[in-house]
Amino acid sequence: MACAGAKPKKQCGLCGGTKKLKACDCCEQWICNDESQYQMFRNSCSRNHRRYILCGHHHAERHDGEWQNCSKCRENIETEMYVYYGTNEYNFEKLINPPTFEATRCSNCKSVIKLGDDPYSVTSDGHYCERCAEQLLSSRSL
């Protein structure tokens, strides 16, 4: 039991970690200072918060005002990714009332591609799921 008036322990707002913390550049929230140990396919609180959310994007692009009301962020990011960046687990604060959007479909097989989660490729002809992108690539290299 904490003593009355005791300061709450600093902890990462994403994972709850208490070691090697820093304040985010974009929003001053406490987060794991783990980016220097980043390895592919492993979670990094600071990297994910910086790269995969509207707050981080807004800060990196040096937009004015709050990210929640930024028309530049809204215009510059396709709607499905805007919603993903505003509502995923790397946010301290999630986007309220995210806009609706049509599901992205593979230009070849028409399967749904979740842009925030699924592997895909983009060409001038559209989005391609991983399977169709591999087929497209192998047919072009013949």
pLDDT computed for residue 116 by the predictor: 93
Q: In Å, how far are 42, 43, 44, 47, 93 from 39, measured between CA atoms?
A: 6, 8, 8, 11, 26
Q: For the segment 78-102, what is each residue's pLDDT rounded down to a tens digit?
A: 999 999 999 999 999 999 999 999 9
Q: pTM of the prediction?
A: 0.83
140 pLDDT tier (thresholds 50, 70, 90): confident
pLDDT digits (tens, 9 = 90+) for 25-58: 999 999 999 877 766 656 788 989 989 999 999 9
Q: Kindly report the average pLDDT of the chain as a whole number.
A: 89
Instruction: Decide: 18 and 51 in contact? Cβ < 8 Å.
Output: no
Radius of gyration of the chain (CA): 19
Q: Which of 4-8, 87-91, 108-112 has the lowest mean pLDDT?
A: 4-8
